[in-house]
Structures are given as structure tokens and as C-alpha cells.
Amino acid sequence: MKFFDRPALANVLAGGIKELQLDLNQQQHEQLLDYLALLFKWNSVYNLTSVRDPMQMVTHHVLDSLAAVPAFAGAANVLDVGAGGGLPGIVLAIARPHMNVSLIDTVHKKTAFLTQVKAELGLANVTVYTARVEQLQVARPFDVITSRAFADLSDFVNWSGHLLAEGGEFIALKGTAPADEQARIPDPWKVTKLAPLQVPGLQAERHLVFIRRTI
């Protein structure tokens, strides 16, 4: 599909949300489609993702991110590191409107896109930062810090560990979770759980990696 066929995309999205057993209302469905439309439009100029087909964007990006939503059930203040085109941060913010979601990226054109998405979709629970995460300082630490295909797990925790609240956790969205990556995670951090994800319409390996401070 080289053009944005909203009714067809809406059907696939709705089917995937039903399969994931997520309780999203019609407004949230429309916001996810509006986000997809903006991603498709801006991608032709800004190269936000290598995925060009909007139908693939539904499965590879939106449903992939939605599959992780239940893992954030207890989270109130979340940071998405290396947010890029807004995955999973924007999807989390739509699916969980009472959760505060901050997104950070070093690339200005990406954060300009995220700021536009926030404005057009009316996402009052979203904050966008253009900065290196290791230099970010915030008044209120995050109870969950997440990333999707961002970096090696050791770099992820080294660069953003100072932003995690006491008792908080990292949740990394990964394809596979290589043992060598897990082994390189420095003390006092430790992988506490590895959870496989089933993404509707996507025949590929997906995992959530949960990391906590051990001491």
C-alpha cells in the first residue's frame, strides 16, 4: 500500500487491538490513525522510519508498541529514550491518557515531529525533549524508562539510570534479547524478567526486557 487508505488501516488496527484485548475507545482509535497519518506524511521528508508502507506501519510500529502497553499498567511517569518517530512513547500516551509520557531524542527534526503530533492530537500528557539523555535533568524522576531498538542494554541503563526513581524499572522493547547484551549490563542493574510479545500480524520475535536495580 503506497497511499493512506484510512478505512483499511482502521480495520487492521481495530482487529489488532481486539486481539491484544486492549480497552481503547473510539477517540483513541482515531488518535492512533491520526498519528499514523502524520508519520506517513512526515516520513517522506524527514525519514523517521525505514517502513514506508502504512499497512506495515500498523503492524510493525503501532501494534508492536500496543502489545507492550499492559507492562506499563502501574506506571504514572514514563520516559521514552531515543524516541525517534514516537515509538513506543506516543502510542503509550494515546493508550494511557492518565500516564505522563516524556520523549527524548537528540535529532531536532524528530522532536519537531513529536511536538507537532502532541499539538495536533491534543496530547496534554506528553512532554518532548531535544537533548542527550545522559545530560537531561528533571525535577521528578521517572518510575519507568523505556526504549525501542534504541541501544545496547548496557548503554541504555548507563546513560539514563540517573533519571530513574527509586524502585523504578527499565522496560526495553527488543526483537531478541541476546545473552551477551544482558551479560554486559553493569552492577547494580540486573535483568529481572524477559517477556515474549505476540504482535498481531507480525511473524517476528519480540521481547520486553525488564531491568531493575539490585541493591
What is the secondary structure of 137-196 as a DSSP string?
--SS-EEEEEEES-S-HHHHHHHHGGGEEEEEEEEEEESS--HHHHHTPPTTEEEEEEEE
Give the pLDDT confidence score for residue 139 in this predicted structure: 96
Q: Taking the mean position of all CA atoms in its chain, how far away is CA 132?
A: 17
Helix (H, G, I), strand (E, B) or coil at 92: helix
Cis ω on the peptide bond leading into residue 88 (within 30° of 0)? yes
Helix (H, G, I), strand (E, B) or coil at 107: coil
Q: pLDDT tens, 146-166?
A: 999 788 999 999 999 999 999
Global confidence as pTM: 0.96
- Domains of the chain (ranges; CATH) run 6-213 (3.40.50.150)
Band (12; pLDDT cuts 50, 70, 90): very high
Q: Which residue has the cell 520516559?
A: 79
